[in-house]
Amino acid sequence: MSTHPDQARTHLDFPFRIDTRGRSADTTDEDHVRDLIEQLLFTVPGERVNRPDFGSGALHLVFAPADQELAGAVEYSLQAALQRWLGDVIQVERVQVESEDSELRITVGYVLLTTGDPGTAVLERETGP
């Protein structure tokens, strides 16, 4: 989408929904980046037909044994996925993964490349029955 420098960019909100005006809901740049992070982290590789290597496999982590070595490896692999797929939008500063029972919490600290503003995305997902 091309925009004039004086125009604000609009992005479709995720998940897709209809707003109160009866139109496709849109969102801010900051929320759009958070939505992109969520889509990447909670997409299983192979789930997207045209991009079979897109995703992180983070949802499989809930069932992995919890220890420091695994946590470090997982954080590193998630950071690599974020840099690969969103490296033109954000600079990843930190990734923290916590898993308890059937809940996964991922915290991503980043800097928006367009503005230099810092951001944090805290994403939680229940994976149990």
pLDDT along the chain (129 residues), means of 10: 51 71 78 88 88 82 61 82 94 88 84 93 77
Contact 78, 56 (CB under 8 A): yes
- Token reading at 68: 């420091």
pTM of structure: 0.74
* C-alpha of 7 from chain center: 26
